[in-house]
Amino acid sequence: MHYFLLVFALLLSACSMKNYEITQTKIIIIKSPKIKFADLGYVRNSEKSIELELFIAGKNIEKISINHLICTGEGCMSKSGFNKDYLSAYYPEDLMQNILLGSPIYEGKNKVQTQEGFEQTINDGHVEIVYKVNPHAIDFKDKKNNILFKIKDTKE
């Protein structure tokens, strides 16, 4: 009976482990009311989930996991709850994952193709966003809410 419980526990724990298909080391700069960070980090993703792992001087200081919820060291919350607590309540739920993946935000609103990627400018009274994506960098700046994300390759 003890062996059965041990095998069962191991199977369950193995199922809960995430296998990320892509892991990238990036230079990450985040400035928001609750997060201030500038150093190396890992962006990992699979088809269903994304993880941002932040390091300072080689020490892991924060892990943000995104699937149907967003989990941080403080616990898990809905995507809109995360936006309200960490970013801006006016952001769409999928904003954080779209930034990490370099995907269009606000369902592609005002998207303009550039030679190497795309740019979006969103001004609606609550946000004043300039978002630029190319193969080597992601740059998100919201002047109205004083929020900045910069994600760059470690070598260009």
Question: In the structure, what pLDDT confidence band is assigned to residue 4 with cuts at 50, 70 and 90?
Answer: very low
Q: Model-level pTM?
A: 0.82
Is residue 18's pLDDT more than 50? yes
Q: Average per-residue pLDDT in the chain?
A: 86
Number of C-beta neighbours around residue 20 at 10 A:
15
User: What tens digit of pLDDT does each residue of 22-42 get?
Assistant: 788 899 999 998 889 999 999
